[in-house]
Structure 1
């Protein structure tokens, strides 16, 4: 006997309750401020999971869609626009577009099923703008398939379920975004009507997405607290599992500052197409970039005469170049990205009195 609609809704709500354990994890050093953000973070993840589950047009009618506003995780880049489309690797796809003038553009075939940790198997093919064959006006086509194709080709694996697009802006005021579409090369049948019995699985899948993603990234961040105010090179296997771009190398860390302290980060940026430094909260959400500076990049950073960069993380504006605001946070995580870089230096960090 099928459950009633009321029973399905109750099951969904009961499942969501499991996510709340995140807000009491002892290994994250949580404050009341963090827990307030954590409530918002979980609600945002539920929204992402439900949109992905309920509003997905299906792999025969894929669309590139952006993440909902302000929804992010895993140290999302404030300079990026992230787009994704759901796929079925038994079909082939054509991505069409125009390159634009952004700093970096890449496509990745992924299996990022946070609802089932045992099914996260990482990325398959990656294609970036340097590898694309473009026409004179910057137009291109990419075929995504399991079997090799001539020209621009994105390799799909048997378990690929999504194509992720990263568009990286150095200076959004002057750059033109890439214009992209995707189509399945298998002619689709008439659009399906709603299957009432299938809604239960979609709801529960959306809830499990929030539970799985929040736990995954909390587990990722927690060990960093053992070495505060320093950076490290992340585990390459974890980078692969979450679908990391092989052209992007990270230096990551946990920061914590008293009210009268600031963190100084110094490094000589290598020759590269793009780099940035950013802060995130303890949940790995990028801090809000709309009102205060929470990152610097290769375009915005002030360099010293010797080519080095000195970044100052502080609660209040210290009146020096490259200030990055904590936006009221006492601790969180931080990261540097080197994109298509000749080398990958480790930044030096030290705490000073503000």
Structure 2
């Protein structure tokens, strides 16, 4: 059977994707990573997860004239770039050529922030990124039942909206939950004001471009995070310090991060203590080597936040990361779920004070508990 000429246009793109998948095992083996079976398996899975993210982003959610929200991190299964289980991440392409309406609800949502960015850091052909505008729940008026309507448009000023500059490319939304296992926030919606309702038919050229970008995205991000984490391991081994934001993160005012690398042998625990900033939100998330949160959907304690952890009478909080519960009085045990090392991050939001002084130490459990 001979295919029509127009059907063969994406052939090179499919070949590019196939070659990327075929060559991945050899290229993956050259990346810096721990010599552990679990880390190798999760790194291979990461590439497949990133491939699904790329296919969605560059084929399904690509046109700012017909926007919709994509979740790179989904339902506790698919993770991306240092996710926090207690947050939902939505993003949509936007352009200053259009005006948009975003609707949503604060029901079962504690905090929310909307940020508009320029640039694209998602693949090999990355372009410079900058934060254009941002708002939080403090600048959003809601109805009595928590519903809101926001305007996203060039030149917007005032409450309930964010502005678009000529280089605007993406609208990102972060929603903070009290308990992601229980909370069920309503979906967000975005629509363009005016213009045709239906998008134009898909073309072979557009599909080819999307396939190539998806393949680039998957490999670029797998390699980039492995290299970034390798550097973090060297510089911040069992230590936490402020994360340098050179422009790639560009979080709104009031956001600060501590990050580091954890490694806990059998019979040991990593003990972390700090005094949380007054009035600020915080979360602590230990992750695997690939910057993915650990499995949390089935009740394991693998993250903690200011919503679920209270300071002691001195105002301090003590966390302990260990393979088994060390039963240290007053400490919150966090599980490793078969991992012996990985990355870790403190997130602080609505924080306008200095980051807290954090004490971190590797302790021998046998000695600490009086055992021989």
Q: Provide the TM-score with structure 2 as the length reference.
A: 0.86
Distance change (3 Å), C-alpha of 1:202 and 1:153? same
- On the 8 A contact 1:103/1:273 being kept in 2, the answer is no
**Long gaps (5+) in structure 1:** none
The aligned residue for residue 276 of structure 2 is 269
- On the 8 A contact 1:18/1:211 being kept in 2, the answer is no
1:125 positional shift: 1.2
Distance 1:173 1:215 in 2: 31
Distance change (3 Å), C-alpha of 1:211 and 1:309? same
Larger Rg: 2
- On the 8 A contact 2:51/2:214 being kept in 1, the answer is yes
Two-structure CA RMSD over aligned residues (Å): 2.4
The aligned residue for residue 110 of structure 2 is 103
1:17-96 equivalences under 5 Å are 17=22, 19-20=24-25, 23-25=28-30, 27-56=32-61, 58-67=63-72, 68-69=74-75, 70-96=77-103
- On the 8 A contact 1:265/1:349 being kept in 2, the answer is yes
Distance change (3 Å), C-alpha of 1:164 and 1:91? same
Q: Provide the TM-score with structure 1 as the length reference.
A: 0.90
- On the 8 A contact 2:31/2:226 being kept in 1, the answer is no
- On the 8 A contact 1:267/1:348 being kept in 2, the answer is yes
- On the 8 A contact 1:232/1:346 being kept in 2, the answer is no
1:37 positional shift: 0.6
The aligned residue for residue 292 of structure 2 is 285
Q: When the two structures are aligned, how many residues end up with a matched partner?
A: 352
1:232 equivalenced with 2:241 (yes/no): yes
Distance change (3 Å), C-alpha of 1:22 and 1:346? farther
1:123-272 equivalences under 5 Å are 123-172=131-180, 177=185, 179-188=187-196, 190-226=198-234, 227-237=236-246, 240-272=247-279
Distance change (3 Å), C-alpha of 1:251 and 1:150? closer
1:7 positional shift: 4.0
User: Of 262, 281, 294, which aligns to 2:302?
Assistant: 294
With 61-70 and 308-317 compared, the bigger mean Cα shift is at 61-70
1:201 positional shift: 0.7
CA offsets 1:139-182 (integer angstroms, 9 cap, x no match): 33222123234432312233322211111112347756255321
User: Of 310, 315, 323, which aligns to 1:307?
Assistant: 315
- On the 8 A contact 1:81/1:166 being kept in 2, the answer is yes
Distance 1:279 1:261 in 2: 16
The aligned residue for residue 344 of structure 2 is 334
The aligned residue for residue 349 of structure 1 is 360
